[in-house]
Amino acid sequence: MSLAHEEVLSHPDHDIPLEYSTEDGVLKIFGFWIFLATDLILFACLFSMYQILHLNTAGGPTEQDLYNVPEFMAETLILLVSSFTCGLATLEMRKGHRGALMAWLIVTVLLGLSFIFLEVREFVDYVGRGATMQRSAFLSSFFTLVGTHGCHVSLGILWMLSILYQLGRRGIQAITARKVFIVGLYWHFLDVVWVFIFTVVYLQGVMH
């Protein structure tokens, strides 16, 4: 990267976290924040679609027919906890503990996998009961909104696995620290989106 401000950053300052210690790191983290803004708008559009269409059931299954309280509560808890463990991983990174960092990341990945497992099971169950995406506008928007979130989570899991591999090979240094920090941002973002899905889709659905 072209380092317009290289000189500014070349003095090592111990107050600056490792991920912010290079200009490249600063730019990429800032860029990623902006990417998250675009992703947020993307989800906002999907939420508005869902909100408009969730009663258009065309005589097919309704929200109350489908949503199962213990199931989506479990999904929610798992994802919230995974966000917490991901935060712990970042803290360990700041302390320079590679082992603990990797351990917490592995816990996060496992929680993510169990979330995906539950979600896939939920989808398979719905489809088995005739609630397919082709059935009604409500179901089209449900599967698209929740499915898009699920795809994001799956991608995050693959991403974390790749970073775990890199941590194993290269340890904690400016580049890997930046990657851990960014994947953490991504993971927390998905958690926030899930909180909205929990409220707008599931709670609203069962409380009608």
Residues 176/167, Cβ–Cβ less than 8 Å: yes
DSSP 20: G
* Least distance to other proteins, CB of residue 84, Å: 25
Q: Which of 9, 16, 35, 116 binds other proteins (CB under 8 A)?
A: 35
Residue among 163, 160, 176 at smallest CA distance from 25: 176
Residues 26/3, Cβ–Cβ less than 8 Å: no
d(CA 145, CA 174) in angstroms, rounded, equals: 36
Q: Which of 53, 86, 172, 193 binds other proteins (CB under 8 A)?
A: 53
Q: Does residue 28 belong to the site contacting other proteins (CB under 8 A)?
A: yes
Per-position x/- string for 101-130, each x denoting binding to other proteins as judged by CB under 8 A, each - no binding = ------------------------------
Q: Does residue 3 belong to the site contacting other proteins (CB under 8 A)?
A: yes
Cβ neighbours of residue 137 closer than 8 Å, sequence gap 6 or more: 53, 56, 57, 58
Q: Does residue 45 belong to the site contacting other proteins (CB under 8 A)?
A: yes
* Least distance to other proteins, CB of residue 67, Å: 18
DSSP string of 38-80?
A: HHHHHHHHHHHHHHHHTT--TTS--HHHH--HHHHHHHHHHHH
Residue among 203, 174, 10, 166 at smallest CA distance from 96: 174
* Least distance to other proteins, CB of residue 82, Å: 21
Q: Does residue 135 belong to the site contacting other proteins (CB under 8 A)?
A: yes
Q: Does residue 37 belong to the site contacting other proteins (CB under 8 A)?
A: yes
Residues that bind other proteins (CB under 8 A): 1-6, 26-28, 30-31, 34-35, 37-39, 41-42, 44-46, 48-49, 52-53, 55-58, 133-138, 140-141, 143-144, 158-159, 162-163, 165-166, 170, 175, 179
